Amino acid sequence: IKDHDYFDKIGLAYEKPYPLVGNMLDIVLQRKPLMDMIEPNYYRHKKDKIFGFFNFTRVSYYILDPEIIKKITIKDFDHFVNHSDEITNADNVFNRSLFALHDKEWKDMRSTLSPIFTSSKMKMMYGHLSDQATNFVKHYEEKAKKEDNLIVEALDTFARFTADGIATSVFGFQTDCVVNKNSETYKIVQKMLHDFLGTIGVLKTVFSFGFPKIYNMLGLQITSREIYDFFKRVVIDVMDERDRKNIFRPDVIQLLLQAKKGQLKTEKENELNEKELTNFAANIEYDLGSKINDASHFTQDDWIAQGFIFFFAGFDTTSNLLQMTCYELAMNVDIQRELQEEVDEQLNLLDGKTISYEALHKMKFLDMVISEALRLWVPAPQVDRACTKDYDIELGNGRSVTIKKGQVINIPIQCVHHDPEYFPEPKKFNPYRFSDENKDSIIPGTYLPFGMGPRICIGSRFALMEAKLLMFNLMSKFNVEKCDKTPEKVTYEPNLFFRIKEKIYLRFKLRK
């Protein structure tokens, strides 16, 4: 309770804390999902623009105002360069990943990696993902021919597709997660998630947060040896082999190898004209002014950590996006028909060929559907920043607050996305919010499914390409329908992780 009078002293509205657990009682008792717990506070304090919050014993803040969100993430980014280390400190692999790196180390790594995720590089990897999406649909076509009533469990189905997609286009190896129920790779991917999100992982994280010194003294870790060895094999051993044998394959490992040698650059002249592509939710990569040509100071473990984070950050998020897009299409049949009309128009133009990167990214309704799914069911409903230099926020009417170095601010993305002031009838799935006529009226700072500013998700283009390819192929052959087991209402698990509680079953019905 040491700091419980902190917000009274600085004159800021806050939520009354309990000893030790602060404002996290509902989470500790597993009574509510994090964002359900935050939402009433969001509306209670909205006019204050910011409120104080006790993350267990630590003083932190929730930022509610879009203008302040923009300032913190973009204009005054140099005060908020890092994510908090509350979770990342518990694990040596996560801790060296781009998500967790701090200050100059982050800037160097981000500058080194960002050329991997430009549109020209996405186009280079496109073929692998396109093959995965076609194979996925072929597999289910075969199944549907045998089973008239083909019911799938959405998360597992799309997680298998996402795992195969990342394995081939990031790591350069073919996996069998979609076609083989007992796939070894899929077991490893599930173990990776379980290490972090299972009970033991959560207890370790909470312990490391409360007692960091004892945690380190005991040499505890979250990533198991098996997962570390897996990423060592698929990152380091493959890079070494390619280097030795001079093998080239268009995937992220190839680009990492180039980055490691300091040879990777963004070639502006080869980039596609983003304005001609519809990718509303995609990131703008900021110029960090750090030109890294020599990446030799990064260690083997640094490269393993980047391979790990590409899988960890990209896998569950994209699977969830696909699950919730299909769920909404099953519940909103008119929207599904409209999407299929757009898909069919493209199919007519293609005359049996596969769709190109450009054509896929010019499909406006597909982009509207995905953008809306990301608004309503944002896969990462909250992001944070640690304050690196004291920062004053003007709150109006002569009020201000100073965020101190080391304190953490949270941005409740889901609350902003669900606020009727910014998105009328917020719980309604309405892709027209993102039509050409409407999208300019979206207030900057109120739509941020991939975060915002220089620290925005580096993989947004990859995720959108993967999701669009799957949806295009799926909609061309199947109607996605609700069945007896489809839940009418979907909620999140009552904990810190943003995972859907209900299993969502859907019917894949072959189109006539």
Query: Rule CB under 6 A: which residues touch ligand HEM?
Result: 98-99, 110, 309-310, 313-314, 317-318, 321, 379-380, 383, 449-452, 455-459, 462-463
49 vs 83, beta carbon nearer ligand HEM: 83
98 vs 144, beta carbon nearer ligand HEM: 98
Q: Which two tokens stand for residue 63?
A: 């930022």
Minimum CB distance to ligand HEM, residue 412 (Å): 12
Minimum CB distance to ligand HEM, residue 326 (Å): 14
Of the CA atoms within 13 Å of residue 56, those in its CB half-sphere come to 10
In the block, tokens 């692998």 appear at 128
22 vs 451, beta carbon nearer ligand HEM: 451
Other CB atoms within 10 A of residue 436 CB = 9
379 vs 445, beta carbon nearer ligand HEM: 379
Minimum CB distance to ligand HEM, residue 454 (Å): 8
**CB of 43 closer than 8 Å to CB of 10:** no
The closest residue (CB) to ligand HEM is 451
**CB of 462 closer than 8 Å to CB of 311:** no
- The residues that bridge with 52 in the sheet, in sequence order, are 14, 61
Integer angstrom CA distances of residue 503 from 177, 200, 354? 19, 23, 32
Q: Tell me how far apart the alpha carbons of residues 451 and 353 are, in angstroms, rounded to a whole number.
A: 36
45 vs 110, beta carbon nearer ligand HEM: 110
457 annotated to bind ligand: yes
DSSP annotation of 15? P
Minimum CB distance to ligand HEM, residue 157 (Å): 16
Minimum CB distance to ligand HEM, residue 384 (Å): 7
163 vs 457, beta carbon nearer ligand HEM: 457
204 vs 455, beta carbon nearer ligand HEM: 455
Q: Tell me how far apart the alpha carbons of residues 177 and 233 are, in angstroms, rounded to a whole number.
A: 19
Minimum CB distance to ligand HEM, residue 398 (Å): 31
Minimum CB distance to ligand HEM, residue 465 (Å): 9
Backbone angles phi, psi at 18, to 5 degrees: -100, 155
Q: Which of 344, 376, 383, 382 is nearest to 363 (CA)?
A: 344
Q: SS in 3 state form for 473-484? A: HHHHHEEEEECC
Minimum CB distance to ligand HEM, residue 439 (Å): 18
Q: DSSP readout, 271-308?
A: S--GGGS--TT---PPP-S------TTS-HHHHHHHHH
Q: Which two tokens stand for residue 450?
A: 């991939």
Q: Which of 283, 366, 258 is nearest to 74 (CA)?
A: 283
17 vs 66, beta carbon nearer ligand HEM: 66
368 vs 452, beta carbon nearer ligand HEM: 452
User: What radius of gyration do the chain's Cα atoms show?
Assistant: 23
- The residues that bridge with 258 in the sheet, in sequence order, are none
State the DSSP H helix or E strand holding residue 325, giving kind and residue range, or none if neither. helix 300-331
Helix intervals (H) in 393-455: 413-417, 436-439
Helix intervals (H) in 351-383: 357-360, 364-376
Minimum CB distance to ligand HEM, residue 329 (Å): 17
Instruction: Indicate the angle between helix axes 364-376 and 300-331, nearest 10 degrees.
Output: 100
Residues within the annotated binding site for heme?
457
